[in-house]
Amino acid sequence: MSVILQVSSLVKRFGKLTAVDRVSFGIHSGTCFGLLGPNGAGKTTTIELMEGIKTPDEGEILYRGEPLGQRFRNEAGIMFQNTALQEFVTVYEMLLQFSRFYPRTADIDELVEQYSLQDFLHQDTRKLSGGQKQRLLLAMALINQPKILFLDEPTTGLDPQSRRNLWEQVHRVKAQGATILLTTHYMEEAYELCDEIAIMDHGRIIAHDAPDALLAKHFSDVVVQLHEQDVPRALGEREFDATYRNDCAHIVTDDVNKTIVRLLDLNVSLGRLRIRARNLEDLFLELTGKELRA
């Protein structure tokens, strides 16, 4: 697999803040690469450097082995934030306007059908629902049949169903052969969509690999999860070194039998017990000592 886009030692500073701090990675052609990290980690700044929208203070970006140039601009698709939509312009007009920027474009009617834009094709773009807007923005990003697609937090603020719907569409774009770079602070999204993930915090990449490889490398244990009401904090922390989040006690163990025996000894109700594999949220917590969504 060839590397289509390579960044090396990228640095971007805003005054005293180093928003992107020596970031390096390569994106293999035809894969989905995810930048996962909390708000303020430097994801948007990194993706904007790679899109050519911002200029790095240091480092290098190569697209197919060359600095970003006309070829990159013709072959890149960027999904803008919904502030890019204009009032008094319909969905159809927006697609038409966008198509005029490029020498080679997708068939608008096909995009309308693929992204289910028919029902609001002649509505004002500012009056769409969150899910509808994201579908339109994705269709706009695909108007030049991009070889590489940039998605900055594509599902932030969407309800679960619209999020799933957008995931399906991203899978489809990938199945058609495009390379994708996406940023997200949802670990499920990174896990669902990405072949490789770089975890970012404070402008740096703190881990980078395929999602399952990342988990396998860092964890050999599992999590016994119980409702907080069944294992009060004081007990859980004392007996199991449990951590508490989302109303649940999370007990990390490499001996599930022993943990369950001990829970029974303590008369803990196991009716709501779940055993789960470690996930990227756990990994982030492990690497940084803080929660991804905090």
Ligand X SMILES: Nc1ncnc2c1ncn2[C@@H]1O[C@H](COP(=O)(O)OP(=O)(O)O)[C@@H](O)[C@H]1O
Q: Is 37 among the residues that bind ligand X (CB under 6 A)? A: yes
Evaluate whether 137 touches 149 at the Cβ level (below 8 Å). no
Q: Is 19 among the residues that bind ligand X (CB under 6 A)? A: yes
Three-state DSSP class for residue 97: helix
CA triple 171-175-180, angle to 5 deg = 65
The residue with its CB nearest to Mg ion is 44
Judged by CB under 5 A, the residue of 44, 46, 162, 184 near Mg ion is: 44
Evaluate whether 194 touches 33 at the Cβ level (below 8 Å). yes
Taking CA atoms, 249 is separated from 233, 266, 284, in Å, by 8, 15, 18
Q: What residues form DSSP beta bridges with 151?
A: 79, 182
Whichever of 53 and 266 has its CB closer to ligand X, that residue is 53
Residue 38 CB, nearest approach to ligand X (Å): 7
Pairing of strands 248-253, 243-245: antiparallel
Q: Is 134 among the residues that bind Mg ion (CB under 5 A)? A: no
Q: Is 155 among the residues that bind Mg ion (CB under 5 A)? A: no
Whichever of 81 and 86 has its CB closer to ligand X, that residue is 81
Contact of residue 37 among Mg ion, ligand X, none (CB under 5-8 Å per partner type): ligand X
Q: Which residues contact 219 (CB under 8 A, 6 or more apart)?
A: 278, 282, 283, 286
Which residues 41-100 are close enough to bind ligand X by CB under 6 A? Answer: 41-45
Whichever of 18 and 225 has its CB closer to ligand X, that residue is 18
Q: Considering CB under 6 A, how many residues would be counted as binding ligand X?
A: 11
Residue 15 CB, nearest approach to ligand X (Å): 7
Q: Is 14 among the residues that bind ligand X (CB under 6 A)? A: yes
Residue 18 CB, nearest approach to ligand X (Å): 9
Residue 194 CB, nearest approach to ligand X (Å): 16
Residue 12 CB, nearest approach to ligand X (Å): 8
Whichever of 151 and 223 has its CB closer to Mg ion, that residue is 151
Q: What are the CB-based long-range contacts (under 8 Å, 24+) for 202-207?
A: 202/21, 202/41, 202/42, 203/18, 203/19, 203/20, 203/21, 203/23, 203/41, 203/42, 203/45, 204/21, 204/22, 204/23, 204/42, 205/23, 205/24, 205/25, 206/287, 206/288, 207/283, 207/287
Whichever of 38 and 211 has its CB closer to ligand X, that residue is 38
Whichever of 43 and 163 has its CB closer to ligand X, that residue is 43
Q: Which residues contact 269 (CB under 8 A, 6 or more apart)?
A: 230
Q: Is 31 among the residues that bind Mg ion (CB under 5 A)? A: no
Among positive and negative, which fits the CA dihedral 131, 136, 141, 145? positive
Contact of residue 147 among Mg ion, ligand X, none (CB under 5-8 Å per partner type): none
Q: Is 133 among the residues that bind ligand X (CB under 6 A)? A: no
For binding to ligand X (CB under 6 A), which residues are involved? Answer: 14, 17, 19, 37, 39-45
For binding to Mg ion (CB under 5 A), which residues are involved? Answer: 43-44
